[in-house]
Amino acid sequence: MINLQLGSIKPSRLVEIAFAPFANQFSERDIAVEFHMPYTLPLLTCDIPKLAWTLTIFFSNAVRYTPQWGKLTVKASADTGKMLIYVENSGYGIPLERSQRMFERNENYDSPEFGQGLALILAREIVEAHGGLIGVVSELGVMTRFYIEMPITKPTEDKT
């Protein structure tokens, strides 16, 4: 069970916190970075460090798997009580059969994949503890988009 300590933050600031450790790496690899974070988005009520860490996993994967001179797009939008934040990178993509299992525990100790992707599993648990969804969409040789969909709640609501 994940204990949440809720606070309110602008989505653009949350993304800024998560992106900061990777900014130089994207720059050094000549990866173009675009942010689409409207100022009109409502505040997000969440455990700020935990949700920022979840986004750092997305940036970590993106900097590792985006080819030099590739592109990273970060976008947030809100609609019908939910906020969507995604991190999309151009590049290699993820095979469908692998993307469908990325957020699941592999209990087979003999599997060569055992222990891989633990960060994404923990990220899923953090997002789900907030009442949100996490996922990935990918097209081989084109792009990979990791996303979280979070409920927009009033700061007075307690979800601990």
The rounded average pLDDT for each run of 10 residues, N- to C-terminus, in the chain (160 residues) is: 92 98 96 96 96 96 93 95 96 78 59 59 93 94 95 58
**CATH placement of domain 7-151:** 3.30.565.10
Domain ranges in the chain are: 7-151
| CA–CA dist 138, 146 (Å, integer) | 9
The single residue listed with the structure tokens 């675009």 is 34
Helix, strand, coil distribution of the chain in percent, nearest 5: 30, 30, 40
| CA–CA dist 106, 114 (Å, integer) | 6
> Residue 106 has what pLDDT?
59
Judge contact between 139 and 79, C-beta under 8 A.
Answer: no
Measured CA to CA in angstroms, residue 137 lies from 21, 58, 70, 98 at distances of 24, 13, 18, 11
Judge contact between 54 and 123, C-beta under 8 A.
Answer: yes
β partners of residue 145: 88, 137
